[in-house]
Structures are given as C-alpha cells and as structure tokens.
Amino acid sequence: MQRILIDTDPGVDDAFAILLAMRSPELQIEAITTVCGNVPVAQATQNLLTTLGVLDLDEFPVIAEGEAEPLVKPLVLATHVHGDDGLGNTNQLQNTDNSPLYPPANTSIVSASGVDLILEMVTRYPDELTIIALGPLTNIATAIRKDAKKMQRVQKIVLMGGAFETYGNVTTTAEFNIFVDPHAAHEVFQFDVPIHIVPLDATHQVILTGERLRAEIDKREGKVSQFLRDATQACMEFYREEVGFWGFHIHDALPIGTLTRPDYFESVRAHVQVETEGTLTSGMTVADLRPERQHPNPNAYVCIKVAVEVFLDYFFDRLQ
C-alpha cells in the first residue's frame, strides 16, 4: 500500500485522476491539497468536494486549501477549456427539486493551509509519502521554502507537467501546469528528491474519444458514469473547435497509472530544467531525452511512452 498526498487544481482531468486514485486499492490517499491553476483555489476546493461527492464513501482524506497565487507570475486560468466552474459546469446542474445534481462531499476542510498539511503529512509518514502533483507546483515549492529539511523526507514526487519533444498546450513551448508557475517548477526540479514527470509527450498519446466514452458509459449505470458524461462535455467541445477531434486528453489520470500499473509506461532518466524568464519560452521544460546524450546528473524520470489501449481499459474498469 502506497501512502499518497494529492495536490490538485480540479479541472476535469484532475477530477478523473482523483476518482481513479480513490478507486485504486494499491493507494492509501492520506490527504488532498488544492492549489490555484485551472481555476482559483477556492473554486478548486469546491470542485474537489464535488468530485469526492460522486463517490459513495464513509471516510474521506484530510483536505486543505493551498496557495491562491503563483510565486511570481499573475495567475492564468483554464476555464475556457474546463468550463466556467472548471468542472464542465457540473456545479450548475440540478435535480428536479432544484437540489444540486452533484452535491459536495459531506466532509470539512481543515483550518491548516495546504502547505502546512503537506509538511504535516511528511512528518507523519517520513520516507513513505508520495506526492502526486496534478496542478502547478506552487504548494510544493512553498513547502520546500518553508522547511526543506522536512521535505527531503518525501519518498518521491510524481507530477503531470512539461513538454519536451512535443509542442506545449498554452504556448508553443510550454505546458499549462509549468507555465502557470515556472518559478515553482524550477525550485521543485532543483530539489533533491526523486521526481517522476508525466509530460504532454506521454499524455497526448492517450485520446479519450467521445465515441469511446459514450460506449463505455452505455455499459454502466451509476453516479460515476453520469459524472464522466456530464463533466466532459465542455472539454470535448473545446477540443472539437480548437484541436479538431471530439474527445479530450485525460492528462492527470496518467500519473495515477504510473503508480498502480507501472508496466504500462516507459520512462527515461534526464536532467530537467525550466525556463522562467524567456519572453517566448516561459514555462518551457528543457531536457535532452536522447539515450546517447544522457546528462551526468539526471534529476528526474520522464515518461515517454504509454500502452494506450490497455491504459484506457484499466481506466474504465476502475471507474465502473
């Protein structure tokens, strides 16, 4: 059993990753912290509660709200992709009696900040805790700034972010999570803990088409399937207009898969750096992934390949 803290900015794909993690018996989700990114942090917390409310749970992880602004840059949002509420506008859906179709989970948010909860969990589980970072790395960098010695007891950080041998999804060179807070990413990548990166190079291999989603939902009943259908509509419309296909990339689900089904993924060692100041390249992740050019001091594992069909089968099997 792997002890996990999820740091997230839900986000439709974040929500799918959270559902997948909560349905993974290999993972013990000890805590979830929210961070600004796809949406402002208060909305991220609301979206987290909405997502957890989809599941029939008696107990919930400890939840805390984290940082509201990146370390240096003004906050950039992605509501144009994920819907006005960041969750496919599911927070606006109602039953016939005007009650929320997706009510929030019946649990509370602790008074501690997300950064303090990260440090508390590392203290409680030294050398055992894996942090799964699904959004900008602001909370994690701030925790390192606050107590670097304590954060060195993190077992590893697994994150979705970056683009190496492919184009970015915000600018030509930058992926969203890194672009939002490149200074935080720079500090995390320079920190001496094991880091596993799942970049766009891997996540863009996995396309969840509207046809596949519809076929899978038709096989199933229940709140999770209904949520998958409702939450994806805004994203799929964005992808159809902007990218040219009816579907979307379930980016943040892949880091969960690397922990529960590592045989579905291939990674290489690399020395990863982040451009923080470039006018055209802010947020760009830089590494030479060619095996014959390996850096003498690699600081991360970078995922480069996914077994797409078996991963999608696994994804839907877990979310029945």
Q: How far apart are CA 65 and CA 42, in angstroms?
A: 7
Alpha helices in the chain (DSSP H): 12-22, 41-53, 79-82, 114-124, 138-146, 148-151, 176-180, 182-189, 200-203, 210-218, 223-242, 253-260, 308-318
Residue 94 DSSP class: B
Beta-carbon contacts of 73 under 8 Å, excluding residues fewer than 6 positions away, are 180, 181, 182, 183, 282
Q: Is 222 left (phi over 0), alpha (psi -120 to 50) or beta?
A: left
SS3 303: strand
CA distance 29 to 2: 8
CB 232 within 8 A of CB 213: yes
Q: Which residue has tokens 């740091």?
A: 7
Rounded (10°) angle between helices 253-260 and 12-22: 20
Catalytic residue at 196?
A: no
- Of 186, 249, 251, 271, the catalytic one is 251
Are the C-beta atoms of residues 283 and 168 closer than 8 Å to each other? yes
According to DSSP, residue 143 is labeled H
Rounded to whole angstroms, the Cα distance separating 119 from 200 reads 29
Orientation of helix 308-318 relative to helix 12-22, angle to 10°: 70
Q: What is d(CA 165, CA 162) in angstroms, rounded to the nearest whole number? A: 10
Q: Residue 140 is inside which H or E element, if any?
A: helix 138-146
Q: In Å, how far are 96, 123, 135, 271 from 153, measured between CA atoms?
A: 50, 8, 21, 21
Supply the DSSP symbol for 148.
Answer: H
Q: Which residues are catalytic?
A: 251
